[in-house]
């Protein structure tokens, strides 16, 4: 069985049905109320493995109930459905499949926590959740069995799916908690009841859905408002909005950042095309120099958050630092370094893009370029910004000019405003070009990129420039 399929704890069908207030139907199968299931829980029938549990959720474009048969063919032993489906598999009928998934996750975490061995860490923030999760997983997996999200599983489906992978032997459960509106994080916190809640940043990511930065702040604050008095809130001291959350929690507060008042602090930050260096300071342990192989000074904040959690859990700074230095990339398509031939560096950072992360990536591009070498920014749209979209794309266009990025390549009509803003800044003459699609941009870049160039590819996931980044990386690979 592939490594990602960590089994759920053993539960009987009757236990599951009772907890979900559902009705068990097992006619035509060998299953009974006492049948035990412990397979991985999936909402995608293509991911089902023998013994798996399929949750037939309804989506915008399709209905999971249409795929119960496919799940059965792949070996599912239970389907959680909103109405019975004529397939020879045990089914538990519930009112809402997504809500049932969350309730099952809550039950599993409760059961595992009752063993006294489990620590739950929740992570939220407008940027950096996945990178911080990966850093913390790298540290904690050397200390004990650790369950963490696959990719960016952080919503009402992905977060509970992660929680359901916890078993009696799990020592640390890391849960990313994303949100598209007020109340989303509160629901995930209620499911997982974190012992440690981490807030990284409050920015404009998804601001269009939230309705503005202040609404985003309220949503992210949900991470700490319901923490227990014996829990710990790990807060970014360099973000004033996050720092203000210390007044909204009953938990003990640990602050991280470059701020001299931070508990977990970084000094001496510097970056290059091969990584990022800094010195971490931890109370009672002194200072340790760390060299991340992950590009971008903005990732130092994520590393400090991971160190703060590790310190809270009693992991020595030296061990945490050594673990961080083994991490070769933040995540697939996140500041991922490709290429290498002809001294060409391709930085593929096109899985997500908010104004903050776009700005940080561009600053990194400017900082790591060697004297006399060119920098090229290949940018697509930042999505889900609502009324802020125009002005934020304008701001990025101006920043590119002011940081003296050698060449701007804008891809896709939703991002064209960056191109226009860069031209209107008046500093450039032909250094900004626009293409309506990725193929045209690739053809241009394949001819334009010269030895020694450093190329950043950055966009929101919906713009799909990550695939353009992969093509450029392959073109300039050894």
What's the CATH code of the domain at 149?
Answer: 3.40.1190.10
Q: Per the domain annotation, does 329 fall within a domain?
A: no
Confidence band for 287, pLDDT divided at 50, 70 and 90: very high
How far is 225 from 177, CA to CA, in rounded Å?
14
Residue 129 in marked binding region:
yes
Distance CA 477, CA 65 (A): 44
444 part of a folded domain = yes
28 is in an annotated binding site: no
| Separation of CA 332 from chain center | 11
For residue 417, what is the domain's CATH number? 3.90.190.20
21 to 109, 188, 297, 427: CA distances (angstroms): 18, 20, 49, 65
The answer to whether residue 405 sits within a structural domain is: yes
> For the chain, what is the domain count?
3
Do the domain assignments include residue 2? no
User: Is 257 labeled as ligand-binding?
Assistant: no
The candidate with the shortest Cα–Cα distance to 278, out of 294, 262, 255, is 294
Same domain, 229 and 267: yes
Q: Extract the tokens encoding 105.
A: 């996750």
The pLDDT, as a whole number, for residue 334 is: 80
Co-location of 192 and 307 in the same domain = yes
Give me the residues paired with residue 199 across strands: 124, 235
Instruction: Look at residue 1 in the predicted model and tell me its pLDDT.
Output: 38
Q: Could you list the residue range(s) of the whole structural domain that residue 37 is in? A: 11-95
Strand 275-282 and strand 264-272: the pairing is antiparallel
**274 has pLDDT over 90:** no
Instruction: Say if residue 441 is in the same domain as residue 310.
Output: no
The pair of structure tokens assigned to 444 is 């241009």
Q: Which residues contact 47 (CB under 8 A, 6 or more apart)?
A: none
Summarize pLDDT for 421-471 with one digit per residue, the tens: 999 876 567 789 999 999 999 999 999 999 999 999 999 988 999 999 999
What is the average pLDDT value for the chain, to the nearest integer?
A: 92
Domain boundary among 44, 69, 95: 95
**Model pLDDT, residue 20:** 97
Q: Is there a single domain that holds both residue 138 and residue 39?
A: no
Say what the pLDDT of residue 211 is.
Answer: 63
In this prediction, residues 218-242 reach a mean pLDDT of: 96
Are both 175 and 302 inside the same structural domain? yes
Domain identity same for 86 and 128: no
CB-count exposure of residue 155 (10 Å: 0-12, 13-18, 19+): middle
Same domain, yes or no: 190 and 225: yes
Asked whether residue 170 falls in the same domain as residue 317, the answer is: yes
Residues 306 and 319 in one domain: yes
Question: What pTM was estimated for this model as a whole?
Answer: 0.86
Tens-place pLDDT, residues 299-340: 999 999 999 999 999 999 999 999 999 998 767 778 898 999
The predicted-structure confidence for 47-60, as pLDDT tens digits, reads as follows 999 999 999 999 87
Q: 143 falls in which pLDDT band (50, 70, 90)?
A: very high
| Confidence at residue 3, expressed as pLDDT on a 0 to 100 scale | 43
- Annotated ligand binding at 130? The verdict is yes
β-pairing verdict for 196-199 and 119-124: parallel
Sign of CA pseudo-dihedral 18, 20, 21, 27: negative
What pLDDT sits at residue 474? 95
- What CATH number does the domain containing 39 carry? 3.40.1390.10
Asked whether the predicted pLDDT for residue 368 surpasses 80, the reply is: yes
Answer yes or no: do 104 and 234 share one domain.
yes
Q: What is the DSSP letter of 204?
A: S
Q: Is it the case that residue 164 has pLDDT exceeding 70? A: yes
Residue 223 has pLDDT above 70, yes or no: yes
Assess whether pLDDT exceeds 50 at residue 233: yes
Q: Is 79 in the same domain as 18?
A: yes
Which pLDDT does position 61 carry in this prediction? 82
Domain assignment present for 414 = yes
Query: In the prediction, which pLDDT does 4 show?
Result: 44
Instruction: With respect to residue 4, please indicate whether it lies within any of the assigned structural domains.
Output: no
Pairing of strands 345-349, 336-339: antiparallel
Q: What is the pLDDT of residue 2?
A: 41
Q: Are residues 111 and 221 in the same domain?
A: yes
Residue 160 has pLDDT above 90, yes or no: yes
Which of 61, 95, 129 is where one domain is finished? 95
Q: Is 1 a domain residue?
A: no
In a domain, 330, yes or no: no
Q: How far is CA 54 from the centre of its chain?
A: 24
DSSP H or E stretch at residue 131: helix 129-140
Q: Which of 267, 296, 324 is the last residue of a domain?
A: 324
Q: Is 126 annotated as a binding residue?
A: yes
Q: How far apart are CA 55 and CA 76, in angstroms?
A: 10
């Amino acid at each position: 069985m592939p490594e990602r399929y960590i089994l759920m704890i053993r539960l009987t069908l009757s236990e599951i049905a009772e907890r979900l207030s559902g009705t068990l139907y097992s006619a035509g199968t060998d299953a009974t109320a006492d049948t035990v299931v412990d397979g991985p829980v999936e909402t995608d029938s293509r991911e089902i493995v023998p013994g798996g549990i399929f949750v037939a959720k309804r989506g915008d474009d399709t209905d999971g109930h249409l795929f119960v048969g496919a799940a059965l063919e792949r070996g599912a032993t239970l389907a959680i459905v909103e109405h019975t489906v004529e397939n020879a598999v045990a089914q538990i009928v519930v009112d809402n499949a997504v809500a049932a998934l969350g309730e099952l996750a809550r039950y599993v975490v409760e059961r595992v926590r009752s063993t006294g061995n489990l620590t739950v860490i929740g992570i939220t923030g407008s940027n950096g959740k996945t990178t911080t999760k990966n850093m913390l997983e790298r540290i904690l997996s050397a200390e004990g069995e650790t369950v963490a999200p696959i990719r960016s599983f952080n919503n009402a489906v992905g977060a509970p799916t992660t929680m359901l992978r916890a078993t009696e032997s799990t020592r640390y459960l890391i849960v990313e908690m994303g949100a598209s509106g007020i109340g989303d994080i509160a629901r995930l916190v209620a499911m997982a009841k974190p012992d440690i809640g981490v807030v990284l940043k409050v920015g404009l990511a998804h601001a269009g859905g939230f309705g503005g930065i202040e609404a985003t702040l309220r949503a992210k604050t949900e991470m700490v408002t319901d923490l227990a008095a014996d829990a710990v809130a790990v807060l970014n001291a360099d973000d004033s909005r996050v720092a203000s959350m210390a007044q909204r929690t009953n938990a003990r507060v640990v602050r991280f950042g470059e701020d001299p008042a931070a508990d977990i602090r970084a000094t001496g930050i510097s970056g290059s095309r091969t990584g990022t260096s800094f010195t971490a300071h931890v109370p009672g342990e002194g200072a340790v120099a760390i060299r991340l192989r992950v590009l971008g000074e903005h990732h130092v904040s994520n590393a400090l958050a991971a160190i703060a959690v590790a310190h809270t859990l009693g992991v020595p700074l030296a061990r945490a630092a050594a673990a961080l230095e083994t991490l070769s990339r933040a995540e697939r398509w996140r500041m991922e370094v490709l290429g290498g031939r002809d001294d060409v560096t391709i930085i593929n950072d096109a899985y997500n893009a908010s104004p903050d992360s776009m700005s940080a990536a561009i600053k990194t591009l400017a900082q790591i370029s060697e004297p006399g070498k060119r920098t090229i920014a290949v940018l697509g749209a930042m999505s889900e910004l609502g009324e802020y979209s125009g002005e934020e794309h304008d701001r990025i266009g101006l920043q590119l000019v002011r940081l003296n990025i050698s060449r701007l390549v804008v891809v896709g009509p939703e991002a064209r405003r960056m191109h226009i803003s860069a031209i209107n800044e008046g500093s450039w003459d032909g250094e900004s070009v626009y293409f309506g699609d990725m193929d045209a941009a690739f053809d241009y870049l394949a001819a334009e990129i010269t030895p020694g160039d450093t190329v950043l590819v950055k966009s929101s996931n919906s713009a799909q420039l990550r695939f353009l980044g992969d093509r450029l990386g392959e073109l300039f690979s050894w």
